[in-house]
Chain A
Amino acid sequence: MKYSESIRDAQAVMMRQDKRVFVCGLGVPAPGEVFGSTRGLKEEFGDQRVFDTPASENGTLGVLLGASLQGMRPIMVNQRVDFFLLALDQLINHASKWKYMFAGRQEMSVLIRLIVGRGWGQGPQHSQSMHALFAHIPGLKVAAPATPYDAKGMIISALQEGGPVVMIEHRRLYDEAQDVPEGVYRVAFGQARVALEGKDVTLVASSHMVSEAKKAVRLLGLKGISAELIDLRSLRPLDVQTVYSSVKKTGHLVLVEGDWKPCSVSGEIIASLAEKDPGIFKSAPLRVMWPDMPAPTSAPLEEAFYPSVKDIGDACFKVLGRPGSVSEEESQEKVKFSGPF
């Protein structure tokens, strides 16, 4: 099952078993069906539970929060995370705080699906991920699944547990496929996954960067370096312990994140480890992230902007203090996106 299908499936499974769940957002039932992730839902569940909304992100989220206070379990879909920034007032001032303002007497429950774009001239307002922004806010749960299995399991957890949940979905993951169980299963928030075991260096990634890091691990293997890859899955709560155990073993840490460096999730991980056990590092950790500027549109600039698989591999050589690098040709991006998307 593809990533997009697993998201669709999770929503369908939950709508079948829980009458409170409904899905809406601009373009949800429209042709294209949010890159396939809401395909057929309207046909199965009707237009009372699967519907389009006005282009009113803050208003829409506020309305959904109001519905959640009456016992509903809404899912709000946004074709780009960037558009959702208009709803930050309802998200940050209300959804995340509600439970705390009223001593737990009431809680706002909504699942917010945010899609991240990248490449093919998406430009500065269609390519942000905002991992760190959302992960900064207490009262929110933030998922950034890298696999179809996790995407489905985390949607189900979000809807069953309630509370405001932000799920960041990278568009480049949408076609990645994997076996996904039928029916209901959960993937817990705050539990990272060791995606690949290794002993020399720890690589930490989330979302699409897990796929990129995987490619780098393979190239490193060809050069005799064994890297352990940790997929964070959940950015809030953040599972620092799993990273800790891995770095305890390897002593070296490279973090790969599709986001900017200052105040990032990766920075938080390094800080947490340093607070816990400053002696854990045998070398200074390295972060492979975006340059400190918005993404440009021009193709060559864009290519220079996004770190490559080679950048990830080379960072591992560097923390290990070894000369050398992964080979240029092998790390070439194979994905040819014929945009726009």
Chain B
Amino acid sequence: MPNDIFYDTHMKNKPTSYGRMPGIPDGKDLKRKLLRGMLRLRLIEERLSAIYHQADEIKTPMHLYTGQEAVAVGVCAALRPSDTVSPYHRSHGWYIAKGGDLNAMMAELMGKEAGCSGGWGGSMHLLDTAAGVMGSSSILAATVPHAVGAALAFQMKGEDRVAVAPAGDAAIEEGVFHESLNWASFKKLPVIFVCENNLYSTTTPLSARQPRVDIYKRAEAYGMPGHRCDGNDVGGVYAKAVEAVHRARRKEGPSLIEVMTYRWREHVGPHYDWDAGYRTKQEVEEWMEHCPIRALAAEFPAQEVQLLRDEFEKEIDESLAFARQAAFPRKETIKESIRV
């Protein structure tokens, strides 16, 4: 296993812990909320996988979130609607978890005018300002400074809001990521950097790109707290996010949270890629064993979980029906002026 150190030390036998934070509902209500969020996301992505190539109705490179649900759901559960996230190419999870409109996302994936980006953006460029989803970019780490800028604006305007900057483990390698941490820290900005460490950049393992220096520890060099948590433990992610949100709201500045997680499906597209040759089937299956949703769902009566599933499947059916019947943008919106 190419990333054995990360995997062994940080993933195995971790107890599931749910943090208790002041002012946040705890216990079953919170668990139910987290379960709902993750299950809904999972079912949306699984459905997308199933239909992606079927009718060729989704013509946009799609980076699925399957397996990583606990990250966006755990973090967003600690946020208010007025807070913002600035997602990256693996954007569906953040869009949905932050409260983006499912109909609008489905329409966007099909390139329709009713899409959240009017059909111009596709899967990698989702936007829902009402829900606090700032536009996502497909250029690594590019939106990290955008979140810092949002936090700067909140600070300047005296608004009690927090910005979240999600980034993959490869984004950490870009200069702008480090520039952003420096910026946020010296300005004490209300921003939370969330690194979704899924161990791979496309098919290149972490060990081929970075020295074995834990990502979360780099925060210290910038004078901010760094945490690591288990991405299969949504409660743990939530607890760390709450801590960081409190710190930001207390005007104490940014935090970095590294979440150890795993992408079940291929980098881009709907398939499992066991045979692609860069990771073993066994490795994928071990992570699937530690499915963040299954662990939490087991705490609820099977019947309740089934009801949730039915509810979400119905919602997904409806959103797909909505997207299918929606109109494409008019071709004339491409300016004619320069064409022959």
Contact = CB atoms under 8 A, between A and B. Distances in A.
Contacts of A293: 334-335
Nearest to B63: A340
Contacts of A311: 339-340
B173 interface: yes
Given A26-B202, A30-B203, A301 B124 contact: no
Given A52-B208, A300-B329, A311-B339, A27 B334 contact: no
Interface string A266-310: 000000000000000000001011111100111111011101000
Contacts of B331: 300-301, 303-304
A318 B122 contact: no
Interface string A34-70: 0000000000000000011111111100000000000
B328 interface: yes
Given A56-B173, A123-B60, A298-B328, A26 B204 contact: yes
B60 A296 contact: no
Nearest to A314: B340
B215 to A, nearest CB: 13
Contacts of A288: 340
A314 B339 CA distance: 11
A91 to B, nearest CB: 15
A151 to B, nearest CB: 24
A122 interface: yes
A31 B277 contact: yes
A290 B329 CA distance: 18
A290 B334 CA distance: 10
Given A26-B202, A30-B203, A86 B111 contact: no
Contact of A27 (B59, B112, B202, B269): B202
Chain B, interface size: which category?
35 or more
Given A261-B338, A304-B331, A55 B208 contact: no
B337 A292 contact: yes
A52 B124 contact: no
Contacts of B170: 26, 54-55
Interface string B160-176: 00000000001101111
Contact of A123 (B122, B176, B336): B122
Contact of B201 (A26, A32, A286, A291): A26
16 contacts: A30-B278, A32-B203, A55-B201, A56-B173, A56-B175, A58-B175, A124-B125, A286-B340, A297-B122, A297-B125, A298-B120, A301-B120, A304-B334, A307-B339, A311-B339, A311-B340
Nearest to B125: A123
A52 B277 CA distance: 16
Contacts of A297: 60, 111, 117, 119-122, 125
Contacts of B278: 30-31
A56 B174 contact: yes
Given A30-B204, A86-B139, A54 B210 contact: yes
B62 interface: yes
Contacts of A300: 111, 328-329, 331
Given A289-B338, A293-B335, A27 B268 contact: no
B68 interface: no
Contacts of B175: 56, 58-59, 86
A315 interface: yes
A305 B122 contact: no
B333 interface: yes
A126 interface: yes
Contacts of A54: 170, 173, 209-210
A291 B335 contact: yes
Interface in A235-271: 261
B142 to A, nearest CB: 9
B16 interface: no
A336 B340 CA distance: 25
Interface string B304-336: 000000000000000000000000110101111
B11 interface: no
B77 to A, nearest CB: 29
Contact of B173 (A55, A120, A291): A55
Given A31-B278, A340-B61, A83 B139 contact: yes
B302 interface: no
B140 interface: yes
A121 B60 contact: yes
Contacts of A286: 340
Given A31-B278, A291-B334, A292-B335, A298 B112 contact: yes
B119 A296 contact: yes
B334 A305 contact: yes
A126 B278 CA distance: 24
A160 interface: no
A45 B115 CA distance: 48
A53, A55, A122, A293 — most chain B CB neighbours (10 Å) = A55
B269 A340 contact: yes
Given A27-B202, A300-B328, A125 B338 contact: no
Interface string B103-123: 000000001100101011111
B138 interface: yes
Given A56-B173, A297-B121, A301-B119, 9 more contacts: A27-B204, A31-B278, A298-B122, A301-B120, A311-B340, A315-B340, A318-B340, A338-B56, A340-B61
A299 B202 CA distance: 25
B86 interface: no
Contacts of A321: none
Nearest to B203: A30
Contacts of A261: 338
A94 to B, nearest CB: 15
Contact of A296 (B120, B201, B203, B339): B120
Interface in B53-80: 53, 56, 59-62
A59 B174 CA distance: 8
B185 interface: no
A121 B139 contact: no
Interface string A306-341: 010001001100100000000000000000001110
